[in-house]
Structure 1
């Protein structure tokens, strides 16, 4: 990787983490898009996992008193079950599949709550959510909107949504590191030193971005939080879908 590429990655990690810290969505997709454009898919998935794992741990920590820990435990059980099952499957998505998958994800956030009888407060639903979110994270790179479906019927306020969802996402991003982490050591043929240094920089940028996002979250009203986050994510999704179709047409 060139110095310019590394700088771009770190800037994207910081921005994505700040966006996720404010909106609880969109940041992960934006980061995955940037990484997929400049890196092989397996390396992009691994680096995205490292960045988002740090970002979500930070957001969960900043909102620790708002996290619904019992629900997170059931969600984690489903996630670990998915990792165990998928350890027997060899699969790696193409760049076109990643962009198309991310482009279609906004459909989930526009589904009317009455059509989505899912509630993370119910243990069975939380286990299913963890399983499906982990499968999606390994196949497309992001799974936040799917996790969102299991919170949409809840009465959680904006801090509880951000904190609990961040704790959910820790499992999905950890799975990406487990499945694709080895790809980091082949970046640019520079060896282990570059990989470890890059991951360290990514972690610092993610935590800093999460802290900035949390500051802005405190300034946003509940009404604006719920109104604008879906529109921003949808606009990004449309751009990703067009890019995925372009890649598919050129394949």
Structure 2
């Protein structure tokens, strides 16, 4: 259920802001994604997600300390390719890639509308790939079906996700560019810390 709602939430976010999508980022990004998916199809990798979560959470902190990484820009083809590889790896290995993905956008030349729209599209794509890989190729269900999960609950959850997403896009109109990047930076580090904590818990507890 979580994966489905995330896909719809990100998909609706992209739809609301589709006019701001930066399409020329997609070719190198999709090339990186395709390479990773092709490798996974042949070797069916199912690693310890705890370790991957720790790595995903660590990367944004490293990017803060290493200027070269801190200057990553998704608008550059080479960076978009690297983003496609890294984010798809994280999605398939741990099911999460948010903090890692954000590093490529934080210092980019895109404005806040372009950042949110383009991220939403690639995140939607990532969720679909994850669902396809674990639900089909690896024959592992992504979401465990809860007997309490009724059609009404599913529809209600999806509706709330879409409404919340729409309200979130309206907030962009009221936030200055510098404020958006400053707040995003803090959120990235908070999510990164959460990834590290969750990964460590899965590894050692």
Deviations along 1:10-59, whole A, 9 cap, x unmatched?
xxxxxxxxxxxxxxxxxxxxxxxxxxxxxxxxxxxxx4432222122112
CA distance in 2, matches of 1:52, 1:206: 8
Superposition map of 1:49-64 within 5 A = 49-64=3-18
2:85 corresponds in structure 1 to 131
CA distance in 1, matches of 2:61, 2:105: 16
User: 2:122 aligned with 1:164, yes or no?
Assistant: no
Query: SS at 1:142's partner residue?
Result: coil
Q: Indicate if the aligned counterparts of 1:185 and 1:195 stay in contact, CA closer than 8 A.
A: no
Query: SS at 2:44's partner residue?
Result: coil
Give the Å deviation of 1:173.
1.2
2:32 corresponds in structure 1 to 78
Superposition map of 1:8-87 within 5 A = 47-87=1-41
Instruction: Tell me: CA distance 1:194–1:106, structure 2 relative to 1, closer, same or farther (3 Å).
Output: same
1:245 corresponds in structure 2 to 200
Could you tell me which runs of 5 or more consecutive residues in structure 1 were left unpaired when the two chains were aligned.
1-46
User: 2:127 aligned with 1:210, yes or no?
Assistant: no
1:7 corresponds in structure 2 to none
Give the root-mean-square deviation of aligned CA atoms: 3.1
Q: Indicate if the aligned counterparts of 1:100 and 1:241 stay in contact, CA closer than 8 A.
A: yes
Give the number of aligned pairs.
201
2:190 corresponds in structure 1 to 235
CA distance in 2, matches of 1:170, 1:106: 21
Give the Å deviation of 1:153.
4.4
CA distance in 2, matches of 1:249, 1:226: 34
Superposition map of 1:78-97 within 5 A = 78-94=32-48, 96-97=50-51
Give the Å deviation of 1:200.
4.8
Q: Indicate if the aligned counterparts of 1:187 and 1:195 stay in contact, CA closer than 8 A.
A: no
Give the Å deviation of 1:90.
2.8
Q: Indicate if the aligned counterparts of 2:14 and 2:120 stay in contact, CA closer than 8 A.
A: yes
Query: SS at 1:121's partner residue?
Result: coil
1:22 corresponds in structure 2 to none
User: 2:184 aligned with 1:226, yes or no?
Assistant: no
Superposition TM-score, scaled by structure 2 size:
0.78
Give the Å deviation of 1:137.
0.8
Q: 1:107 aligns with which of 61, 68, 86?
A: 61
CA distance in 1, matches of 2:79, 2:191: 28
Deviations along 1:144-187, whole A, 9 cap, x unmatched?
33333433443211111111121222221111110123515752
CA distance in 2, matches of 1:59, 1:211: 7
CA distance in 2, matches of 1:232, 1:117: 18
